[in-house]
Structure 1
């Protein structure tokens, strides 16, 4: 069971974090990770400005990226692979639309 757990969870400083879905194609993971990083950066910038609306919008971007990566929402290991890929691609489409891509 420990091997399965290590594929599903990452432990940092005693806290358990869900890993990215390993079945996702590298290009999808890279794009979602880029959106995640930009969202996290935007959260910090908005907090420094004291812009609560921008913080909320940036947090929504982070949440959407993490759902796409399988790090939030339903456990990826409980879902069929095609559903997981569809969720990731949908999240990516929605994130790209936020950028006007």
Structure 2
């Protein structure tokens, strides 16, 4: 079974979770529960479509499915414009040790 973001440490401000030392942006917490649930369902369908297309060797379908994944992740707030308004930079996909979260990350038990 795939891991969930809740299985990993979250930054104190709730913007990222950390996997193998890398920050990954969390979904916008201001999204209504129903909207988030609908988008997560769309995301899972798009990810399944990526797998189906890859197994079929259908490059065009895979590109289309990956575009759908990107569109939904943007709608969730995990990509694209940041969902916070305090002017803090987006540090998505950066190594935590090289960001403003470095001290926080260094203090974590290094089991992730």
TM-score normalised to structure 1 length: 0.71
Partner of 2:55: 48
For the pair 1:24 / 2:37, whether they are aligned, the reply is: no
Q: CA RMSD in A?
A: 1.3
Question: Once superposed, which parts of structure 1, at least 4 consecutive aligned residues long, lie more than 2 Å away?
Answer: none
Runs of 5+ unmatched residues, structure 2: 1-10, 87-112
The CA deviation at 1:3 is 2.0
| Residues 22-81 of structure 1, C-alpha deviations (whole Å, 9 max, x = no match) | 0000000000000000101110110010000100110111011000000000111038xx
- Equivalenced residue count is 76
Bigger radius of gyration among the two: 2
Could you say which structure has the higher helix fraction?
Answer: 1
Runs of 5+ unmatched residues, structure 1: 80-101
For the pair 1:74 / 2:81, whether they are aligned, the reply is: yes
Partner of 1:3: 12
